[in-house]
Amino acid sequence: MGDLSSTRRGAAAFLDNLPVDDPHAAIGQQNWITRWTKIGDEYCLLGDLNIKKGAFDEATDAWLCALTAFETARRLVDQDDPRSVDVLAKVDGGIQRFELSLAQKIERVKITCCDHAELSAYYLPAGSPDLPASAVICISMEQETGATLLGRLLPVVIGRGMSLLVITHDDVSSHSRGKSEALLSFCLDYLSARRDVDDTRIGVYGEAFSAVLATEFAVSDGRLAAAVCDGGLWNWARIVASVDWLTRTANIALENDAISARRLQFIRQLRCPVLVVAGGRGIVSVSEATKLQAYCMAARIDLELALPRMIRSPGRGIENFVTSDDCIFGWLEHKLALNSHQYVVGQDNQIT
C-alpha cells in the first residue's frame, strides 16, 4: 500500500519481471490475478474510509491506485476466463467511487451529431474558463468499453493538466467511412465550444484499429494539434498488397520507389505532430513503422515512434501498460503544451 506514484512503479516493475519459460508460470499467474485484485479491493476500502472522513484528495489517490491494480489484474486474465467479467465490474466500481470525489469530476456527456443522433462519452475536465486546458479525444480499442479505457487512463492523466473525452470504438466504427470522421469532428466541435478547453490544443489518441480511425480523423480535420495513430500504415499496407497482386511487377527497384512515394503521400496528409505506437497489441508492424520514421526524418516530418515493452507469458504477450501509457501521455502533454517542444521517446525507440 502506498501513493499513486509508488503503486504504478510497483505495477510496472511487476509486469517487467513476470516469469517466462517457467513450467509453473501459469499457476503463478493465476495467483497474481487474485493478489492484484485483492490489492485493488484494499485500496477501494481505504478510499471509502477517507471519503467518510472528508479527506477527498487521499480518497482520490486511493481509488486511482485501485484502478491501476485492477488494470494489472485485467492484463493477466484471459478473455475467456470468468474472472475477466468480475475485474471489469471492479473497474466500473472504481470509476463510480472516483465520481464521489470533490477533487475532480467525471461528466457523462451526450454529443449531438448529424441527424440529431447522440454520442455518449465520458469527459474529465482539467481546466477552467479562466485557465483553459489542452484536451485529448480518446477512442477505446475494439471490443473495449469507454469505461474500461477511462479506468486505465485516469491514473495517467491526473496532474498533467489535460482534459479527456473518452468514447467507445464501436460507437464510431459502426458507421461508414467518412461518417466516422464526421462523428469525431463533432467531438472536436464539442470540446472547442467548452470554455475550459483551449481549442488550439486538442489531440486524438487511438490504439489498435482505433489508431486507424485516429489517422483518418487527423487527415480530415486540420484543427488537431497532435495525434497518436497508425500514421496511415494500415490503409497503405492494404493498397500496396492490392497493387502488388494486380501488377506482379518484376522491377523491384521501381516497386520500392513506388512504395516509398506512397508511404510519404499518406503521412504528408497529416498536418500535426504524430506518434506511432508499433508492435505490442497494436496493428502496426515494427519494421514498417521503422521505415516510415526513417522517411519522415528525411522529409522533416514530425513523426515519432514508440515500441511498447511486451512480456512473454504462457500462450500470449502482456504489455507493460504503465510505461506505455506514461510515455504516450507524456508525449501528448508536451505536444499540447502552451510552449510546445519536441518530446523524445528514446534513442532506441523503446517506451521507458
- The number of domains in the chain is 2
Q: Are residues 129 and 16 in the same domain?
A: no
Q: Are residues 138 and 48 in the same domain?
A: no
Task: For residue 162, give the CATH number of its domain.
Answer: 3.40.50.1820
264-268, long-range: CB < 8 A, 24+ apart: 264/295, 264/296, 264/299, 264/301, 266/231, 266/232, 266/233, 266/235, 266/236, 267/231, 267/232, 267/292, 267/295, 267/296, 267/301, 267/303, 268/299, 268/301
Residue 190 lies in a domain: yes
Residue 169 lies in a domain: yes
Q: Are residues 90 and 147 in the same domain?
A: no
Q: Are residues 165 and 47 in the same domain?
A: no
Query: Would you state the pLDDT for residue 115?
Result: 72
Task: For residue 59, give the CATH number of its domain.
Answer: 1.20.1440.110
* Residue at a domain's end among 81, 98, 115: 98
Residue 343 lies in a domain: no
Q: Are residues 149 and 79 in the same domain?
A: no
Residue 349 lies in a domain: no
Domain extent, residue 40, equals 4-98
The pLDDT-based confidence of 27 (bands split at 50, 70, 90) is low
Query: Would you state the pLDDT for residue 145?
Result: 93
Question: Is 149's pLDDT higher than 90?
Answer: yes
Residue 344 lies in a domain: no
Residue 350 lies in a domain: no
Instruction: Please write the tens of the pLDDT for every residue from 271-310.
Output: 899 999 998 777 888 888 898 898 888 888 899 999 988 8
Average pLDDT estimate for 325-352: 72
The pLDDT-based confidence of 30 (bands split at 50, 70, 90) is confident
Residue 321 CA to its chain's centroid (Å): 9
Q: Are residues 38 and 177 in the same domain?
A: no
Query: Would you state the pLDDT for residue 245?
Result: 47
Q: Are residues 136 and 272 in the same domain?
A: yes
Q: Are residues 209 and 261 in the same domain?
A: yes
Question: Is 341's pLDDT higher than 60?
Answer: no
Question: Is 352's pLDDT higher than 50?
Answer: no
Question: Is 22's pLDDT higher than 60?
Answer: no
Instruction: Please write the tens of the pLDDT for every residue from 51-69.
Output: 999 898 999 999 999 999 9
Q: Which of 3-7, 20-24, 155-159, 235-239 has the lowest mean pLDDT?
A: 20-24
Question: Is 246's pLDDT higher than 60?
Answer: no
Residue 351 lies in a domain: no
Q: Are residues 166 and 219 in the same domain?
A: yes
Question: Is 164's pLDDT higher than 90?
Answer: yes
Q: What is the mean pLDDT of the chain?
A: 85
Instruction: Please write the tens of the pLDDT for every residue from 88-120.
Output: 999 999 998 888 776 668 999 999 887 777 899
Q: Are residues 327 and 248 in the same domain?
A: yes
Q: Are residues 77 and 37 in the same domain?
A: yes
Query: Would you state the pLDDT for residue 314?
Result: 58
Q: Are residues 292 and 146 in the same domain?
A: yes
Residue 266 lies in a domain: yes
Query: Would you state the pLDDT for residue 155?
Result: 96
